[in-house]
Structure 1
């Protein structure tokens, strides 16, 4: 008799008026003691739905979170951003604290924390769009309104391969009134989100929305990322919808970056293939991309043009009805397909509001799957 897992998969219905149907809740999992059969169910659910949630995981250890995350790529142990966080000029530096006894797991959140998992007297700071956007929401509107901070994939995008999955664990969650999220891009688009929600969109849907001409372009074009991209972009500012940067020539010149090894510069397909379903995702980090390499070898080097092309392709995929904003509760563990969704921080908290999350991902053992040759010639 075949051994059956006790884990059951329950697709999460899209919210009213929404088409965000790429989420599932998994029940019955003992994440501290997973069997091979259990993980087979989890992996299939992850790549079928692309964002999976486990409720009631308050006691989950950082070690178990790490082990679950690593099962998707068992040979890896290096945190997905490597030593990026050590660079104080990086836009990522203020946002994460490393757990001493489990360095692949980072602590993020907001407010003063006296002691947590070996970290003592730390102050966490929830990313706020005013530090990253060119034109932030006014201070008097800030408590009731928000923006997408930065749409992204979790990846160093220099030297290391993009992590296959990321796990996010909600340890402490202050509950307050929902916020009105503004795109402020001239469309009038808005969305109600829980305060501090992590917003997700499906990059598979983003690809499916393209015209046939744009699908062909996306299948046959590669994105070249800036060297040390989170330092490179540190002087620039984001668009109001969080989907890429405003081009004002404020990126740091190569001479002001750490030493660059050309073989470590990442040139990745614009479309990444799902290993289970075979679907293609339009998967580009819009803030870090610097050049586009076309199928005939031509390179588009004009940064403003590159950003306009990427934004035009991606913007339909972040329409309000396609966004799934997670309404976090303490004990929630989310695992998402980092090769198939984009996500963004939202919201703001008062300095005294304490919020603690754990994040884990590992640099992948190999690069993402690109489109199949048959698809390229279709």
Structure 2
């Protein structure tokens, strides 16, 4: 049954995949996203932080400006794209994947295939990320159509200079509907999960935290993560684990002399656990690929890069178990918003060059730092 609200918007839990146990995801109905009332805005905010991922159907006519405004509901001071100039760095692993809409630079275009014209962009070729460009070992060519992997579990964040965005929004403009794929973990566990081809998948950082032992919860609450400077350039020569959850340590990261100039004050050291501003719950919220060091409560470092990665992997891996993975089965007109400070997400799947897929993505660097475990709950309903 839908929850009662103070406006026409109703909140409906999404049907779950058989055998799954994830608790995230809801559909919001009867929302006019081009013209929201204050009550509508409150309902959307509350629904997002209680469900982590919310979806509005049939939003084909939503303009980039309206997408920007809806995304800004969660941080009215934020105005600039969440990755800043990271996108423009030629060596960044993000560079080939996104195009900026000229008249709304906070909104990016992602997808696959050649697009003659879209939102002021002309003759663009979009590239759906494929795990063979990022993973150390890959699925064979003959198995690639029926099978896939998590490309890269991540948080949308520059992780250098800028604060992680509060939320990210995605609008499915054009979606080639095809068969399901088997998503393989390929980590000797035998784990796999069926996902719609090209699904964006999510896991809850709150569940990831709840699964920890009491000892590990204490460690996570007290430990901080220092991220590499210019992380998407730093990791450009390295390769990912087969689960997409962090990198293999082979000494292939770039050293400081190979990176753009580094300002020490812009290096990000963030809590391992981030607090939900509405429910107060803690999420184990770490971008595993960009981790460089772990900093203990007393300020000392935990080992080196390899040890830091192994610790983070041990803490996070239970939280991406097949039953905990929420895959969106995209349909054209679907508009999703997710709590970028409470979930991890990943691209999946592969598309042929002639299969055209178009999405619009929006997030903004936050105006406020992350809330750690020691911080009080802030009510986002209060202005």
> Could you say which TM-score interval applies, normalised by the shorter chain?
over 0.9
| Residues 132-172 of structure 1, C-alpha deviations (whole Å, 9 max, x = no match) | 00001011111110000000000000000000000000000
User: For residue 178 of structure 1, what is the aligned residue in structure 2?
Assistant: 180
User: For residue 275 of structure 2, what is the aligned residue in structure 1?
Assistant: 273
4+ runs deviating over 3 angstroms: none
Matching of residue 28 in structure 1 with residue 33 in structure 2:
no
Q: Say which of 233, 239, 248 aligns to 2:235.
A: 233
Report the 3-state secondary structure (helix = DSSP H, G, I; strand = E; otherwise coil) of the residue aligned with 2:190.
Answer: coil
User: For residue 61 of structure 2, what is the aligned residue in structure 1?
Assistant: 59
| Residues 281-327 of structure 1, C-alpha deviations (whole Å, 9 max, x = no match) | 00000000100000111112511000000000000000000000100
- 1-structure distance, mates of 2:299, 2:98: 38
User: For residue 147 of structure 1, what is the aligned residue in structure 2?
Assistant: 149
Report the 3-state secondary structure (helix = DSSP H, G, I; strand = E; otherwise coil) of the residue aligned with 2:171.
Answer: strand
Matching of residue 107 in structure 1 with residue 88 in structure 2:
no
| Residues 68-114 of structure 1, C-alpha deviations (whole Å, 9 max, x = no match) | 00111001111000000110100000000000000000000000101
Would you say the 8 A contact 1:7–1:28 is kept in 2?
Answer: yes
- 2-structure distance, mates of 1:79, 1:336: 16
Would you say the 8 A contact 1:13–1:21 is kept in 2?
Answer: no
Gaps of at least 5 residues in structure 2 are 378-383
Matching of residue 320 in structure 1 with residue 322 in structure 2:
yes
- CA shift, 1:4, in A, is 3.3
- 2-structure distance, mates of 1:124, 1:91: 15
Q: Say which of 16, 19, 23 aligns to 1:17.
A: 19
Report the 3-state secondary structure (helix = DSSP H, G, I; strand = E; otherwise coil) of the residue aligned with 2:288.
Answer: coil
- CA shift, 1:374, in A, is 9.5
- 1-structure distance, mates of 2:290, 2:149: 19
Report the 3-state secondary structure (helix = DSSP H, G, I; strand = E; otherwise coil) of the residue aligned with 1:298.
Answer: coil
Gaps of at least 5 residues in structure 1 are none
Report the 3-state secondary structure (helix = DSSP H, G, I; strand = E; otherwise coil) of the residue aligned with 2:360.
Answer: strand
| Residues 170-200 of structure 1, C-alpha deviations (whole Å, 9 max, x = no match) | 0000011100100000100001000000010
- 2-structure distance, mates of 1:105, 1:182: 32
User: For residue 347 of structure 1, what is the aligned residue in structure 2?
Assistant: 349
TM-score normalised to structure 1 length: 0.97
Would you say the 8 A contact 1:224–1:293 is kept in 2?
Answer: yes
Q: Say which of 282, 285, 295 aligns to 2:297.
A: 295
- 1-structure distance, mates of 2:376, 2:25: 30
